[in-house]
Amino acid sequence: MINKENILFCIVGLLAGAIIGFVFANSLNQSATQQPAGGTTSAMAGMPGGHPPTAGGSDGSMVDIQAAIEKARNEPDNFDAQIKAAEVYYQIQRFESAIEFLQRANKIKPNDFDTIVNLANAYFDSNRYDDAEKTYIEALAIKPDEVAVRTDLGLTYVVRQQPDYDKAIKEFSTALEKDPKNAMALQNLTIAYTKKGDAAKANEAVARLETADPSNDKIAKLKEEISKIQAK
């Protein structure tokens, strides 16, 4: 599973997971302690950002997993059951199956922001970046000021097989208009400029990151990668 809070990116192969920080499975934990932003009582919160490990009623045993899946299949109109099934599939890294149940939940509550974001996250973790892009855009139509979700959208343009760095830069820049010191967006912006080969802009971005988050442990790696394109 792609843990976008903990993966250390490498610019050359670039999966900038460490930069984005939104894992579906980790986001499940927030709803155990607070109401989701969309006002639902679902088993997950859709907000990106390095959350603690997944919590929930299941201990991850096969009995619990099977029970959750059977309940969801037997109660197709039960929103919470679909979410729980998606959760347990995500915990065992069966992302396509998680997507199936998130899609079902989305049909039950089409405008539930948290479900839409987590569906986008599941698409991302399945390397279905076109689907992730469309679904993040759908989430942003509901809450256009969600900086982390817009940053996630930008990352889909970076990691796909045919990257579009200009689109990525546009999304990261839009996110930074809302939150100029957002470390995730600044890291991703630096990466996008580096991948694009624009050392000057990459240096500007990493300087902003260093000011906003001087203890960030990715800064040295970012500077190292920028120096490589400067040397060419």
pLDDT one-digit tens code per residue, 146-170: 999 999 999 999 999 999 999 999 9
User: What is the C-alpha separation between 152 and 27, in angstroms, rounded?
Assistant: 14
Least confident of 56-70, 76-90, 94-108, 190-204: 56-70
User: What is the C-alpha separation between 144 and 100, in angstroms, rounded?
Assistant: 26
Reply yes or no on whether the pLDDT at 25 is more than 70: no
Which range is most confident: 36-45, 58-67, 131-140?
131-140
SS3 14: coil
Residues contacting residue 168 through CB under 8 Å, at least 6 positions apart: 154, 155, 157, 158, 188, 192
Alpha carbons within 13 A on the beta-carbon side of 133: 16
Reply yes or no on whether the pLDDT at 2 is more than 90: no
Helix ranges (H only) for the chain are 17-20, 24-27, 62-74, 79-91, 95-108, 113-125, 129-142, 147-159, 165-178, 183-196, 199-212, 219-230
Confidence of residue 71 (pLDDT cuts 50, 70, 90): very high
Phi (first) and psi of residue 147, to 5 degrees? -65, -45
Domains with residue ranges and CATH for the chain: 17-230 (1.25.40.10)
pLDDT, mean over the chain: 80
Between these two residues, 232 and 101, which has the higher pLDDT value?
101
Residue range 176-204: average pLDDT?
A: 97
For residues 17, 21, 26, 27, the Cα torsion angle rounded to the nearest 10 degrees is -130
* Reported pTM: 0.76
Residue 33 tokens, joined = 């302690």
Residues in the chain: 232
Reply yes or no on whether the pLDDT at 217 is more than 50: yes
Residue range 72-83: average pLDDT?
A: 96
Residue 192 tokens, joined = 């996008």
Confidence of residue 65 (pLDDT cuts 50, 70, 90): confident
Residue range 52-76: average pLDDT?
A: 71
Between these two residues, 140 and 55, which has the higher pLDDT value?
140
Residue 227: per-residue pLDDT: 96
Residue range 205-215: average pLDDT?
A: 97
Cα angle: 84, vertex 90, 95; to 5 degrees: 120
Model pLDDT for residues 90-136, shown as the tens digit of each residue: 888 899 999 999 999 999 999 999 999 999 999 999 999 999 999 99
Residue range 177-190: average pLDDT?
A: 97
Question: For the chain, first and last CA: distance in Å?
Answer: 35
Residue range 175-184: average pLDDT?
A: 97
Place of tokens 């800064």: 219
Residue 18: per-residue pLDDT: 32
The amino acid at 92: I
